[in-house]
Amino acid sequence: MPVIELNRRNFVLAAAGSAVLGSRLVQAAASPTPDRITPWAGEKIVDCHFHERASEEAMIAHLDGAGVSSALMLAFGDASTRYAQLRGKHPGRFIGWARGAGFSPPGGSSASDAAPSPFNMASLSTAGASAQAIDELRRLKARGWKGFAESGAVGDVDSPDMHRMFAMAAELDVPIMMHFQKAGLPGRPSQPGRGFSHIEPMLKKYPKAKLVGHASDFWGHIDARYSDGGGYLTDKVQPGGLIDRLLADYPNLYGDLGAPSCLIQMGRDPEFTRGFLQRHQHKLMFGSDCGCADGRGGMGTMAPSVPVPPGSDPQRPAGGVNAGNAAAMQMRMAAMGGLAGKCIARELLSITWNSVDRSTFRNIAWNNAVRVYRLEHR
Ligand SMILES: [Zn+2]
Ligand SMILES: [Zn+2]
């Protein structure tokens, strides 16, 4: 899991923490299923928000602990070689890898803009560069790359970089999974994906680009009262939220059921959640975005790094999971009462399992991701 992701989470949880204490959310989000019981054991489940970890053992430990059969690995750099090795060694467990797009920093270009990476949207502003990138991505697609995931734009949803990514995703026929969060982060003034509430023209303009929404400004919009960058609402959901409408109206919009941002929203109003999961059962996909070590909420000894050769990827620093950040996330979760020591994968699977019938569960836990990302499950 990238450091940046943990930082985002820390911030979100810090922002949400005090408002959440004592609310119904805490009881609702707390797993009704003890951590040692896995009622979904034996089901085919793919975690489509599974950040690459330091070792294959660490990845298998989280999958096994949470009772998850398979993963779409959100990788650092070009993972095609690692992916082939993982597939050979753990048949059926790794069924695709993905990598997000990079964007211009606020206020213009940076040194990394010059790097000719097919993932660096800022470097692809000319037709020639775009065509070359498309060729390169086609090559990676043949080696298991499944889409632009996870992408976090530093800018607005209709920026030139975003248009480039949507056009490329449409041409390559791969999904974009995007982190939408307008609120800034402490010590990190750049803001990921701003302006989700203005996404509709992009969905209209690029009907062939499949967008999978994630993070606070996506999930917050289950409620009609939410606005981009707002704090989490934790009471009963007010129907008429933006994503409820967009998921119904746009065949190219999907939802990534992962991270505390989703867990908090799915945990606040069980009756709403049941209806929401049911009516969007062909549009929602289980993902975890979990930082725990063992798939049961334990921290273990968090691995210090991810195998990224230094300098191999201008979008990402070498190294990855940061033990200090992971511990800080757990402290925030502890501050949220019921979430202390919980595995996000387990919590979300538990809510889904207890809210819908088996066929709906299978759509959300397996069928939708396999179909939309074209995962290699055989
Ligand atoms: Zn994210
Ligand atoms: Zn976990």
- pLDDT for residue 3: 28
Q: In terms of pLDDT, which residue wins out, 190 or 192? A: 192
Ligand 1 ion: Cβ-proximal residues, 5 Å cutoff: 179, 215
Instruction: Looking at the CA of 330, name the nearest ligand.
Output: 2
Separation of CA 128 and ligand 1 centre (Å): 31
Instruction: Looking at the CA of 51, name the nearest ligand.
Output: 1
Helix-then-strand count for the chain, H and E:
15, 8
State yes or no: pLDDT of 339 exceeds 80.
Answer: no
Confidence of residue 68 (pLDDT cuts 50, 70, 90): very high
Nearest of 125, 149, 123, 119 to residue 137 by alpha carbon: 119
Spell out the alpha helix ranges (H) of 142-183.
Answer: 160-172
Confidence of residue 336 (pLDDT cuts 50, 70, 90): low
The two three-digit tokens of residue 362, written as one number? 């299978």
Confidence of residue 116 (pLDDT cuts 50, 70, 90): low
- pLDDT for residue 24: 37
Instruction: Looking at the CA of 177, name the nearest ligand.
Output: 1
Instruction: Looking at the CA of 290, name the nearest ligand.
Output: 2
- pLDDT for residue 331: 56
pLDDT tens digits for range 236-286: 999 999 999 999 999 999 999 998 889 999 999 999 999 999 999 999 999
Separation of CA 4 and ligand 1 centre (Å): 9
Over residues 334-356, the mean pLDDT reads 84
The segment with the largest mean pLDDT, out of 6-10, 172-176, 186-190, is 172-176
Average pLDDT of the chain? Answer: 82
Separation of CA 325 and ligand 1 centre (Å): 15
- pLDDT for residue 27: 42
Separation of CA 341 and ligand 2 centre (Å): 9
Over residues 153-170, the mean pLDDT reads 91
Separation of CA 89 and ligand 1 centre (Å): 28
Least confident of 137-141, 186-190, 199-203: 186-190
- pLDDT for residue 321: 40
Confidence of residue 155 (pLDDT cuts 50, 70, 90): confident
Q: What percent of the chain has pLDDT over 90?
A: 60
Residues 220 and 243 sit within 8 Å (Cβ to Cβ): no
Pairing of strands 46-51, 284-286: unpaired
- pLDDT for residue 317: 37
- pLDDT for residue 168: 96
Query: Domain 3-372: which CATH class?
Result: alpha beta
Separation of CA 330 and ligand 1 centre (Å): 17
Residues 240 and 219 sit within 8 Å (Cβ to Cβ): no
Instruction: Looking at the CA of 326, name the nearest ligand.
Output: 2
Helices 160-172 and 127-141 sit at what angle, rounded to 10 degrees?
40
- pLDDT for residue 229: 87
Separation of CA 158 and ligand 1 centre (Å): 19
Instruction: Looking at the CA of 35, name the nearest ligand.
Output: 2
Name 177's bridge partners. Answer: 212
Least confident of 314-318, 338-342, 354-358: 314-318
Q: What is the pTM of this model?
A: 0.84
